[in-house]
Amino acid sequence: MEKVKISSSLSKRASEMLKRFEPTQKNVKNLTSQLEPFIPHHIHETKVCIPAKLTLWPSQIAKLTIILCILAFITWTIYIRYFHLSRIPGPFWAAYTRLWLSKTLASGESAKVFVDINKRYGPLARIGPNNLITDDPEVARSILAARSHYTRGPWFDSIRIDPHVANIVSERHTGKHNHLRHQMRAGYTGKEIEGTEQVIDARIADFMNRISSKWLSTPHQPTNFDIGQRIQFLALDVITHLCFGAPLGFMTQDRDVSDFVRTIEQQLPIVQHFSVFLEFNWLLKNLTRISLIKRLLLPRNTDTTGIGKIMGITQSVAGARFKPGAVQKKDMMGSFIKHGLSASEVEAEISISLVAGSDTTATSMRATLLAIITNPIAYSKLRAEISQGIRNGAISEPITDAESRKMPYLQACILEGLRRFPPITQLRERIVPPEGDMIHGYEIPGGTYIGLNAWGLQLNPVFGEDAHVFRPERWLEADPAQLAAMMRVWELIFGHGNTKCLGQGIAFMVLNKIFVELFRRFDISIVDPHRPWKSTCYGIFFQKDFFVRVSRSGIGSI
């Protein structure tokens, strides 16, 4: 009872005192002296400090925040440098910040930079605080294997056209991705496309006619033209014809229809930052839940240019195909619908097919063409093979896919062109499984991202000491065991396991035909051997100013 009385008395007296005093420093001392008999000894030191601390609270919070930030930075730096992935070599700043990787990807030179990184630091190198890159083919095969415990990382979210809709390229869930591949396999391989080879023949014929009528040089009137841009138009007309049943007319109009190519070239450098600073993908996905922001930031099917225009065309064609009783065409879209894709899925898949399929096919054609015409030995041998095939009746007009596969030097040129210039350089990062992994003697913790060095893989010693040189003969000189070892690495250009490119067959059919049809008609020379083109890399390649001079050929002139 005595403790209760004292407590009650203290409370009443304190209330009276507080009413009569303002909480200034002087009044605080007076108040404290009057309350002191009632304050227990063990909190005696606290009684004066409470009001004083309240007056300093904002500055103390600021100081404490700064101190905590400094401590956090120091802790993070020590952890990153001396613990997490610290044993794995790489560029100094890459260990501390993602800015190094972001800058590299947006430089337009990332393919060459990554080759230098693995050459300098070894087959496993550190390119970010939580990012590694490898140019070891066996590590790549293990990561990409069908039964691998590695999963697709958040890097793949950055290549969605709509952040809310996954496509076959960006889908991270293994089961869903495999299901999409099953639904789309027949369309991508051309098995359910009516007259796939005839479609390709028709578009290549348009290309040849265009050269003959507009850009043919004569001894008295030389004509230079950018064949790189026109090859891009050819690839787009092939892909759109296979997708929609008719080409969009890039070649016949000789222009970038709806600014499609220009839009891709503007957006892909930005996408590189999203592939590193993954928070941007989360932010974009949530911001675009607001309809106004979505209309401002994302392509729409009502746009008059760019990807949105292609989406609009796709939606229009798909809308007619999804009507009750509609007869399906035997094209890529018809195959997708036949195998159960919804209208929105068809729109997403066709759009990504045009971006990924046309650029990679165009890059393969351009890079191989440049390698051939700037290598006199290879150029001479290929022309001789074409000439002999025409004389022997082994080459039809146009050449068939089956005939081209029987031309050993042509096939060697295509294999070597792709090896020296893989058309896809995206890191395609996978996540190390929770249990971690052991790679090249390094313990890799779960959750680490490992990317693939596409160009570095194709410079593997299995190709010889001159792996950096375009030399088709290596494919003809190798014994069966060596050839098998080379092909095992070369095949990684198109992925591996459940990520292997479904459109590889169609791309090869185009490559098998285009060089024979070009060289049977024309002699092609580069205008400026010292600066043959302008090539920049943003996961895929943009190649322009590829100026050539074309004249009538002496072999099989038509």
Tokens of 549: 């001079």
Strand partners, 218: 221
Residue type, 328: Q
Residue with tokens 């601390």: 53
Q: What is the CA radius of gyration of the chain?
A: 32
Q: Is the peptide bond before 532 cis (omega within 30 degrees of 0)?
A: no
CB 348 within 8 A of CB 213: no
Contact 129, 97 (CB under 8 A): yes
Strand partners, 504: none
Q: Number of helices (H) and strands (E), helices first, in the chain?
A: 23, 12
Tokens 């008295």 correspond to what residue?
220
**Alpha helices by DSSP H, 40-136:** 49-82, 99-105, 110-121
Asked whether residue 501 is marked as a ligand-binding residue, the answer is yes
- Cα 46 to its chain centre, rounded Å, is 61
Are 506 and 188 in contact by the 8 Å Cβ rule? The answer is: yes
**Six-digit token string for 192:** 């359910």
Rounded to whole angstroms, the Cα distance separating 398 from 517 reads 7
Contact (CB, 8 A) for 79 and 445: no
d(CA 226, CA 230): 7
* Rounded alpha-carbon distances, angstroms, from residue 3 to 10, 38, 116: 11, 11, 80
Give CA–CA dist 32/52, Å, rounded: 12
CB 361 within 8 A of CB 406: no
- Pair type for strands 547-552 and 224-226: antiparallel
Quick one: CA torsion of 111, 177, 335, 187, rounded to 10 degrees?
Answer: 30
CA 109 to chain centre: 14
The answer to whether the beta carbons of residues 455 and 118 sit under 8 Å apart is no
Binding residues for heme: 501
Binding residues: 501
